[in-house]
Structure 1
Amino acid sequence: MLDSLVTLAGAGIAAGVAFIGIPVVVGAAGFTGAGIAAGTLAAKMMSAAAIANGGGVAAGSTVAVLQSIGAAGLPAAAKAVIVSVGAAAGALL
């Protein structure tokens, strides 16, 4: 029983860290609501992607997805997955 509670607590903590931590880390890398911040990892990634793609950043690329998260937060689908994992872990008790 204690092992199950520890597992459930771990799953809950992991879901909470993912729910809050991912947007924080993405923002710290330079992907912000105002765009990509100059001189950051995000700017370097965007530059490399633009050079590789002839001057543009491809829709759906890593840079585009991270900028979307930086501007608007996690998409609803990602939030649903995190909640579903937490619910499945809870059902195991």
Structure 2
Amino acid sequence: MPSPLAMVSKLKGAAIGATALTGVVLIGIPLAVGALGFTPAGIAAGSIAAKMMSAAAIANGGGVAAGSTVAVLQSIGAAGLPLAAKIGLTTTLGPLGAAVGAMFSKGKKPPGDDSQNSSDDDDEDSDGMEGTGKPPETPATCPPS
């Protein structure tokens, strides 16, 4: 069983991972959409967004279809992510970030713990003996007198 210090370290890693991944996505998506040219004032001239809108309009006979990729990205650029999207992303990415953070955090060992392996399963071979598969050494005993 992991030490309490290792558990605290894993919990800290999980909290940092959850916060980082969720924050990057909730802030990064609107920033990336804005960088493409989908702005609150509309689609920026000469941007990737303008090229996407032009292609969508040509494909649809002169207009951009409601619900299309261009329309959704323009909505995000103008008003940000809708509340439902924020809740969905947070609900999905929070636990994912926590799992990744806990997996990559290094557990601290308590003082005086010099063990190489923290896992109990790695010490057993197929024969159930610990170590290299050799039977454990028996302590030397004195012959009966």
Fold shared, TM-score > 0.5 on shorter chain: yes
> TM-score range with shorter-chain normalisation?
0.7 to 0.9
Query: Which residue in the other structure is 1:10 paired with?
Result: 17
1:81 has 2:61 as partner = no
* TM-superposition CA deviations, 1:18-74 (whole Å, max 9, x none): 111111110111001110000000000000000000000000000000000000000
2:67 maps to what in 1?
60
Q: Is the 8 A contact 1:8 1:89 kept in 2?
A: no
Deviation at 1:11, TM superposition (A): 2.6
Question: Would the aligned equivalents of 2:13 and 2:98 in 1 still touch at CA under 8 Å?
Answer: no
Is 1:69 matched up with 2:76?
A: yes
Percent of residue pairs bearing the same amino acid type: 66
Aligned to 1:42, the other structure's residue is in SS state helix
- Equivalent positions of 1:5-44 (< 5 A) are 5-44=12-51
Q: Which runs of 5+ in 1 are unaligned?
A: none
Structure 1 SS opposite 2:81: coil
In the alignment, the residues of structure 2 paired with residue 91 and residue 11 of structure 1 have an alpha-carbon distance, to the nearest angstrom, of: 4
TM-score, normalised via structure 1 length: 0.85
- Note if contact 2:15-2:98 (Cα within 8 Å) is conserved in structure 1: no
Task: List alignment gaps of at least 5 residues for structure 2.
Answer: 1-6, 103-145
Preserved contact between residue 58 and residue 64 of structure 1 (Cα < 8 Å) = yes
Identify the structure with the greater helix proportion.
1
Structure number with greater Rg is 2
> RMSD between aligned alpha carbons?
2.3
Residues matched between the structures, number: 92
